[in-house]
Amino acid sequence: MKDLNIGMIGYGFMGRAHTNAYKRVNDFFDLEYRPVLKAACARNAGPAQEFADNWGYESIETDWRQLLQRDDIDAVDICVPNNLHKEISIAAAEAGKMILCEKPISMNTAEGEEMCEAVERAGVPNMVWYNYRRIPAVTHARNIIASGKLGRIFHYRANFLQDWTIAEDLPQGGNGLWRLDVDAAGSGVTGDLLAHCIDTAIWLNGAISNVTAMTETFVKERVHSDTGNVQPVGIDDACAFLCHFDNGSLGLFESTRYARGHKALYTFEINGENGSLKWDLHDLNRLEYFDYEDDSPVRGWRSIHISDGDHPYLGNWWVPGLCLGYEHSFVHQVADFLLGLANGKPAGPTFRDALETQKVCDAVLESAKSKAWVDV
């Protein structure tokens, strides 16, 4: 087995989720490569060391440039706010490191394009953490669609509904709340949540041609969590858009952090001539499937409990009926990345793939501003 030395930049929610995946993947998947937790990097030594101790990183760095200079680092994992993705990625590519970058790829398409060019010029393996592709039910949906079972596609709809920012006294910015700070995040729900919906949609249903969108910021001012100053809110609290896909189907997307009762309800549905599929993240082990070829009197939506050995990734885990959870999507993504290293077929989404999602996000935000249809 070959070691793949990981340098982790950041130690937040995603830093934990990715690290957990690196630690678990070889227990369940038979692979040529084995991730080694070589170094954890964060601006301040205190949190960096605490994170390293907790998860078992062998060393720490407090400057990512330093990390990139280390010969014992094969790959860097970028888990810092979006406004840092570009600079680190380009430097990492130039240093010849593989890159696993948290989504969205960048603050905007222009940045993303630079990043793609950098990794392609350097020829380094690269991937963006659109982890939901690897929820087994989602992968299974992709396989069914790719088989042609659904026939011509007419409709695709997705939403990602949360309710955690309704309170007006929730602060914004600072360490744990950079997702609410437009300077760090680039946008609100569009980049944070809709980007997931868009990545999955493109993967399942192909490219998006054009969009008309609206955004809303329900709470106009918030206290900054560090300074205590009241500042305008720059992000979109909610975003919805209509679109056409290149295959002629219609799309409907919505995301918000103001849908009371929904914690992280990511759902999608696709309707084809001969069948349909539905999924939602709150019940992620189920895939709903309608097959028009069933005999008419016994036709109905099938609730497939995705826990059998012949479902994607499931043969590596337990026995039928026993559920996987959220974190397994990251384990699967690492497994596929490592497999891609071994067999030379890079696992997606690459930076280039993720740029397509970024282009749609940009078009959505532009349409919301211009109040016109925008081509992607």
- 173 to each of 13, 98, 177, 187, how far by Cα in Å? 16, 30, 5, 13
The nearer residue to a second copy, 14 or 122, going by C-beta atoms, is: 14
CB of 93 to a second copy, least distance (A): 30
The nearer residue to a second copy, 170 or 259, going by C-beta atoms, is: 259
- Supply 375's token pair: 């081509």
Q: What is the DSSP letter of 10?
A: -
The nearer residue to a second copy, 122 or 235, going by C-beta atoms, is: 235
CB of 311 to a second copy, least distance (A): 6
Radius of gyration of the chain (CA): 21
Element housing 4 (H / E):
strand 2-9
Q: What is the DSSP letter of 219?
A: S
CB of 238 to a second copy, least distance (A): 6
Q: Are 163 and 259 in contact (CB under 8 A)?
A: yes
CA separation for the pair 316, 9 (Å, rounded): 29
- Supply 18's token pair: 């990715």
Q: Indicate the SS3 state at residue 141.
A: helix
CB of 89 to a second copy, least distance (A): 25
CB of 297 to a second copy, least distance (A): 5
CA separation for the pair 298, 313 (Å, rounded): 30
CA separation for the pair 325, 361 (Å, rounded): 28
- Supply 137's token pair: 């039910």
CB of 342 to a second copy, least distance (A): 18
Q: What is the DSSP letter of 308?
A: S
The nearer residue to a second copy, 44 or 54, going by C-beta atoms, is: 54
CB of 139 to a second copy, least distance (A): 11
Q: What is the DSSP letter of 242?
A: E
The residues near 343 (Cβ < 8 Å, ≥ 6 apart) are none
